[in-house]
Amino acid sequence: MSERLQPGDVAPAFTLPDADGTEVSLSDHKGRKVIVYFYPAALTPGCTKQACDFTDNLELLAGAGYDVIGISPDKPEKLAKFRDKESLKVTLLADPDKQVLESYGAFGEKKLYGKTVVGVIRSTIVVDEEGKVERALYNVKATGHVAKIIKDLGV
């Protein structure tokens, strides 16, 4: 079971392929705040709603100095399908070996329909300009979550 991050922790560095196979690193965003969200699977109803909510609010978030990165265990090809089908504008990264998911505490035991299963824990981590965790939110809901983040961040 991976450790959950706390505000003030240094956000674990990562480099993962995006939907086009281009490597993207957290360090590419140094000097900007980054909302890193972890979701279970592309092209599923809840994850689609969440990704569309982030896309719909991307301009607002970018204007306030935030970049948005979504990470799932999907392969880049599936992320490209997801992006194209839903016209997504957020950066989607592939973490099929789940190393980044685990380093952020977003993979482990969770309750699903009353059963304990091991999988992706829907989570959102806000990283500040210096690469430190500003907020760490775990077991978030797919719907309404983006609006809550915007309100909490005062954007």
Catalytic residues: 47
Residue 140 contacts residue 56 (beta carbons within 8 Å)? no
Between CA 66 and CA 1 the distance in angstroms is: 29
d(Cα 71, Cα 92) in Å, to the nearest integer? 6
Locate the DSSP E strands across 79-132: 91-94, 107-112, 115-120, 123-127
